[in-house]
Amino acid sequence: MGRLRSRLATNPTERDILKNLAEAERYLKRVLDISRASRKDKNLRLGRLSEIEQKVQSALRLIDNPPSITSTIDTQDPDLNPSVREQKRKERLEKREKKRGSK
């Protein structure tokens, strides 16, 4: 998922959700690093460390690609929305008229 998606989100709610998920992902990756580095310690049980690693990896897969809560279709795209297309056309005509009138 990463932090880029949270930065690019336009909806504030989605931005907050994605920001917190990105932070959780960073912490879970730290847990994986710690558990892998702790395998050399003879006082710890390898089975328990493996169980922790599996659960953390499962959690990472769950938060890796959350669904979007907003539409992925750009409603301001003139090719997809006829009313926006008409509005943009009118704005261009008004600009041309202003340029012609000021000459």
Report pLDDT for 2. Answer: 60
Could you tell me which of 60, 57, 65 has the C-alpha nearest to residue 36? Answer: 57
Q: Domain residues of the chain, as ranges?
A: 2-72, 75-103
Q: What is the distance between the alpha carbons of residues 17 and 1, in angstroms, rounded to a whole number? A: 12
Regions of the chain short of the pLDDT cut 70? 1-2, 73-74, 103
60: Cβ contacts below 8 Å, ≥ 6 apart: 25, 28, 29, 32
pTM of the model: 0.62
Report pLDDT for 32. Answer: 95
5: Cβ contacts below 8 Å, ≥ 6 apart: 18, 22
Could you tell me which of 2, 5, 24, 23 has the C-alpha nearest to residue 68? Answer: 5
